[in-house]
Structure 1
Amino acid sequence: MRPTHHLDEATVISYSSGALPAALAVVASAHLERCASCRAMLLDADRIGGLLIQQQRGESATDEARETMLALLDAEPAIAPETPADMVETYDPDRLPDALHPWFGQSLRALRWHRVAPGVQRIRATGIGGGDLMLLRIAPGSKLPLHSHGGSELTMILDGAYDDMLGHFGPGDVADLDGEILHQPVTSPGVPCICVAATDAPLKFSGWVARALQPLFGF
């Protein structure tokens, strides 16, 4: 199944320039492995970034280079080549995206989860250096507390699904959220929702109970 929720253009540009915090960059990389549409956006961002660097170095930009940059800004994203992860016949649902291997290993089945709340298990990456990176396993039919974000959050679904005010998120989809978004994910029935999430600031819970328990759960 191809992703239907994608990285924001600003996130792709930050990723291309190397400005995205490390934890967020890991989730962005994982999504890019499975999303041809976002890889196409990244190709355009890389090309525009190269032209901008050329100008910043004082090199004279040719008329052709300027026209290329304007065309890229106005055009639809290019079509990126498919990778094996895009092809249903070769996709292994147990295999984690390559970008996650240094932090969590290769296999979903091999993960060792830690319970942090009723219906919620977590594995937190250590030594990431920029932001907070974690895997979450949330029981089917669970309703998470209503919350917003103190900064940015990237969440990619690996298995299962959830719904919130932004729509239905299934395997491969990414939620690219900022401090303006207030939402309450509800996991779909049937199987647990497993996702990888990265934040660069703590979440902001709306209910007083969730706020009181936040230091205990470490979100």
Structure 2
Amino acid sequence: MVNLTRIYTRTGDDGTTALGDNGRTSKTDARLAAYADTDEANSVIGVATACGNLPVEVQETLARIQNDLFDVGADLCMPLRSSYEWEPLRVRAEWVTELEADCDRYNADLPSLRSFILPGGTPGAALLHQARTVARRAERSTWQALETYGDQPAGDGAGKGEGGVNPLTATYLNRLSDLLFILARVAAKVGDGDVLWTPGGGREQRDPQAT
């Protein structure tokens, strides 16, 4: 159970923060950056659901994803170990399968794309595009953490804060960004649909030698 009785603790005033195993790490640590960016993605999704006038089905899908993202963050802040006193939350392969099923289901009702899309169209579409870009950043940060710490568990004799990163966290965030792109298109249908990219911004193509 989570029991938050105080919000400020002053323990991070030295530039460090606690990991899930009570080890401490720098606030610039790659592992911390990964779950901080994941938290930001969750927050942007929250703005989209609160302000985006999204279809009820989309809101329900995003509510599940917001809970998942808390679990992704919990996974990222807990270094992999060969054994634990209590089994931690870990992202599972079936969560990725759920996202793929969502992608297929929502994409089936959308028209084929013949250009790239500009973020915008409706508030919901714009906010979901923003969430998509933050999810991509969270994925990149997670890959940076994987490059730094690897994906292998630390042995029983390892100190706190030691151990790899679950690679399924990166896979989940990758698939999530795909789904958020699709959901942004769904949200755009409330208005006039996708805002398509026009190469050159629609400017007339002129001969530079012409006068």
Same fold per superposition (TM over 0.5): no
Higher relative contact order (CA 8 A, sep 6+): 2
Larger Rg: 2
**TM-score normalised by the chain length of structure 1:** 0.32
The structure in which a higher percent of residues are helix is 2
